[in-house]
Each structure stands twice: as C-alpha cells, then as structure tokens.
Amino acid sequence: MNLNLQWTWFHRLGSPRWFYQKTQRWLPWLSLVMSVLLVTGLVWGLAFAPPDAKQGNSFRIIYVHVPASVVALAGYYIMAIAGAVGLIWRIKLAYMLMRSAAPIGAALTFIALVTGAIWGKPTWGAYWEWDARITSMLILLFLYLGVMALRHTYSSNEAADKASAILGLVGMVNVPIIYKSVDWWQTLHQPATIKFTGAPSMHPDMFMPLVVMILGFYLFYTVSLILFARAEILRREYRASWVKQLVTDNSAEK
Amino acid sequence: MYFESIQQLIYMDGHGVYVWSAFCISIVVMVGLIVKPLYQKKQELKNIRLHIRLQEVNREAIRQEDSNASNP
C-alpha cells in the first residue's frame, strides 16, 4: 500500500496528459528566463568581454561553440536515458522524449561543428582537421541522425522506439571519448576551458558571459524539448479522449 | 562596451566575418528548433480535427442508413 503511494508520482510523470498540461503552464516562464539569459550572454560576449590575448576577437565564437557542444553532449545522455527508461518501464512518454531529443541534439552538434570549423580558419588556418575531438563529434552527429532515421525503418512505433533506444544506449560509449579526446590524444583542439575540478582557464570577465550562455542553452534545450514532445504527444495520442476534448475546447474558443 | 564604435564591433579587427557568420548560422538553426515543433503541433491539431469530423460524418451516415432500412 505504502509502496504504491510512493510510486504514484512516477506514473503520473509518465502520463502524456499530465506532461502536456503541466508544460503549458511552464513554457512562458521557461521561455522568459531563456530569452533573458541568451540575450544577456550574447551582448556581453560579443560586445563587452575583452578579446583573447592570443586569438584576438575570433575567440568570441566560444560563446556559441562551447554552450552548443556542452548541451549537445548532455542531450545525448538525456536521449539515451529516456530510451532506457522506455525499454525498462515501457513508459510511452519516455520514448516520446527520446524522439524529441534526437533532432535537437543533432542540430546542436551541427552548430558545434560549423562554429568550430569557422573558428578553426583564423586560429589554425584550416576549417577542418581529422583530429580526435572533431572526429568523435562527427560520430555524435551520425548517432543522432541514426536515432532519427530509425523511426522510419519500422512500420510500428513500438519496434522503432526499441531499436532507437538500443542504438542510443550503445552510442553512449562515444560521449566519454569526446570528453577525454583532448587529453588522450595529441589534438589540435585546445583543452577544456571549464573543468569540474580546479579553476577555469579563463579570466572572470570572459568566463562569466560563457556561464550565462551555457545556462541559456540549457534552458533553450528544455524549451525546445518540451515543444517537440508536445507535438509528438498529439501525433501519437490523437485517439485519446483528453486530446479530443482539448481540440474541441480549442475550436469552441475560436 | 569593449569596442569604440559600431563599425569596430562589426569589423572586430578582421575577425568579424568569422564571428558574425558563426553567430548568424547558430541563431538560424536555433530559431528552427523552436519554429519546427510549433508548426508540427499546428499540423497535428489540424489532423485531429479532421479525424473527429470524419468520425462524426461516419456516424451520421450509419444512422441515416439505419433509419432508411427501418422505414422503406
């Protein structure tokens, strides 16, 4: 009895209806905080932070390159864990979140690669180098694209979800490799700016806007994930009575 | 502001092309990540509305057939 009570939150959390209704209320606030952080970080990083002693103004690309990379990597864990939750507890919402996380992760990895290439030109003299960090990041992009593509290879949602979740879990091996690539191999890519242990290798005037941008990107990820998940819920739950109720209520208002 | 003028902010000692193109590409992609799911949601709502309409039309047709069969 007691055990049942403790687990109700878990099942409510797994209900697409609960998610759809709650996020409706959260979205305006999340979007507001996201916009404030992104605009502040952008203006601060582009116009107010001092230039790098060695790289000059080209270092300002860090304010979009590092946040996009950090969230693309964290987003992979989110996608893989959502897939695992779906496989173990057969929670529909977990699979919907896994599906929604894939295109966002792919787009952020794309941003990381493109901005990195643009940054490489004035800094290293080349747009692309087959170095360990860049190559492992490219593999991350293919993993995300693979999870996206698997959806269309099965006629049933269930089989496609399982296959995508397994691919996601297997691909998780790549994430620590990306993190460690700058330490394990001789790479052209500079070592990590932010470390979990020890002080950042950056002056606070340059570091603070980066922190603001990273937080802004995490919120952006959350908002985008919620938006994709809401569309996915409608796509899969169109037969549910609460969805029909929602649609008829909406048309009555218009 | 670090730069002395807007021109300097845009030029960035020759690095402006790289910095601004990197930021512009990122912004376009990120706007896409917000607009795409919103558009998808709109399409899904449209589909569901159509689905409900079709069900109603079907039910109406069956009712008509039944009443035709009972009063020839």
Q: In chain A, where are the structural domains located?
A: 63-192+204-234
- Residue ranges of alpha helices (H) inside A125-203 are 132-150, 157-171, 174-184
Which residue's entry shows tokens 């008829």? A248
Query: Which residues on B lie below 8 Å from A251 (Cβ)?
Result: 49
A49 in B contact zone (CB under 8 Å): yes
Query: Which residues on A lie below 8 Å from B33 (Cβ)?
Result: 103-104, 107, 220, 224
> Mean pLDDT by 10-residue block, N- to C-terminus, for chain A (254 residues)?
59 84 96 98 94 89 96 97 93 94 98 96 89 93 96 88 95 90 81 70 88 97 98 93 87 56
Which residue's entry shows tokens 């409706």? A24
In angstroms, the separation between the Cα of residue A70 and the nearest Cα of chain B is: 14
Return the pLDDT at A7.
Answer: 64
A48 in B contact zone (CB under 8 Å): yes
Which residue's entry shows tokens 């449209």? B46
Return the pLDDT at A69.
Answer: 96
Q: Give me the number of domains chain B comprises.
A: 1
For residue B1, tell me if it sits in a domain: no
Return the pLDDT at A1.
Answer: 47
pTM: 0.91
A47, A103, A220 member nearest B9 (Cβ): A47
- Looking at this predicted complex, what is its ipTM? 0.90
In angstroms, the separation between the Cα of residue B65 and the nearest Cα of chain A is: 26
Which residue's entry shows tokens 């109700």? A8
For residue B13, tell me if it sits in a domain: yes
In angstroms, the separation between the Cα of residue B26 and the nearest Cα of chain A is: 6
- The Cα A231–Cα A228 span in angstroms is 5
For residue B16, tell me if it sits in a domain: yes
Contact B22 A234 (CB under 8 A): no
A57, A104, A230 member nearest B19 (Cβ): A57
- Burial, A124: exposed, middle or buried (Cβ in 10 Å; 0-12, 13-18, 19+)? middle
In angstroms, the separation between the Cα of residue B61 and the nearest Cα of chain A is: 21
Structural domain boundaries, residue B31:
6-70
> Mean pLDDT by 10-residue block, N- to C-terminus, for chain B (72 residues)?
86 92 97 97 94 92 88 69
| Amino acid of residue A165 | A
Query: Which residues on A lie below 8 Å from B9 (Cβ)?
Result: 46-47
Return the pLDDT at A129.
Answer: 86
- The Cα A123–Cα A119 span in angstroms is 6
Query: Which residues on B lie below 8 Å from A104 (Cβ)?
Result: 33
A37 in B contact zone (CB under 8 Å): no
A58 in B contact zone (CB under 8 Å): yes
